[in-house]
Amino acid sequence: MTIRILLADDQALLRGTFRLLIDSCADMEVVGEAVNGREAVDLARTLSPDVVLMDIRMPGTDGLTATAAICDDPALARTRILVLTMFETEEYVAKALQVGASGFLGKYVTTDVLLAGIRTVAAGEALLSPGATRALISRFLTAPAPGSLLAPPERLNGLTPREREIMALAAEGKSNDEIAGQLVLSVLTVRTHIQRALTKLGARDRAQLVVIAYQTGLVRPGRAG
């Protein structure tokens, strides 16, 4: 199945480069281009792309605001956001994940990494590194802004002990293969438990599952829940 991609970047040269690169792949196609966040939201609602390649800094509505609007739209529940930016700061990464992005890449990445990233988020996986990104999430998602609340632990009440265990390992940055090896399960079984947790928690994808794991205290900095 072809992955349908919407490009959102205010630089025409970059959009053109991304289009040439993506359209050269047999399993991908660019279905639209947006020059700012507002246009990205409008085109997403019109085109229902599988993935939006979203820049953060754009004139008018920025990429984080657009990401939040797309992820909050029930009609776009299957659309994934891959944030691609020159400004790869901890605050930006944390905010992108909090508002629903499935992945975050710097614009310095190689062609192979970018294309693999698109395929990863299109498949419903999180583009999160086990090392630096895990520390980042621990630091920021467990420290809510003033006046806001973390997700209550009771949100996890519907999960089985095994689903909680696998969710915690996923939040530590482990892949399905690594979880299967550690728990002596098949990869298919791990995927099934992940999918059940996603459904029960109303999470869009693995990235949001990781966010919930930290915000409910299932996983805390330095130890699994």
The residue-averaged pLDDT of 98-116 equals 83
Domain boundary assignment for the chain: 3-127, 148-215
Same fold, 3-127 and 148-215: no
Contact 3, 119 (CB under 8 A): yes
Contact 161, 196 (CB under 8 A): no
Between 220 and 140, whose confidence is greater? 220
Between 138 and 195, whose confidence is greater? 195
pLDDT at 225 over 60: no
Q: Above pLDDT 70, what percent of the chain?
A: 84
DSSP letters spanning 106-136? ETTS-HHHHHHHHHHHHTT--B--TTHHHHH
Predicted local distance difference test score (pLDDT) of residue 136: 54
Considering the entire predicted model, what is its pTM?
A: 0.68
Predicted local distance difference test score (pLDDT) of residue 18: 93
DSSP letters spanning 81-109? EEEEES---HHHHHHHHHTT-SEEEETTS
3-state DSSP assignment of residue 29? strand
pLDDT in tens, 147-177: 444 567 788 999 999 999 999 998 877 888 8
Q: Which fold has domain 3-127?
A: Rossmann fold (3.40.50)
Cα separation values, 87 from 66, 90, 96, 104, 107, Å: 17, 9, 12, 11, 9
DSSP 78: T
Between 33 and 219, whose confidence is greater? 33
Predicted local distance difference test score (pLDDT) of residue 12: 94
Contact 49, 42 (CB under 8 A): no
Instruction: Please give the helix or strand (H or E) that residue 148 lies within, else none.
Output: none
pLDDT in tens, 3-17: 999 999 999 998 999
Predicted local distance difference test score (pLDDT) of residue 149: 44
Domain 148-215 listed as CATH 3.30.300.30: no
How far apart CA 40 and CA 42 sit, in angstroms, is: 6
The residue-averaged pLDDT of 79-88 equals 81
pLDDT at 141 over 70: no
Predicted local distance difference test score (pLDDT) of residue 84: 84
DSSP letters spanning 164-211? HHHHHHHHTT--HHHHHHHHT--HHHHHHHHHHHHHHHT-SSHHHHHH
How far apart CA 36 and CA 79 sit, in angstroms, is: 18
Q: How many helices (H) and strands (E) does the chain have?
A: 10, 5
- In 3D space, the residue among 10, 8, 56 whose CA is nearest the CA of residue 32 turns out to be 8
Read off the tokens for 213: 């794991």
Predicted local distance difference test score (pLDDT) of residue 117: 86
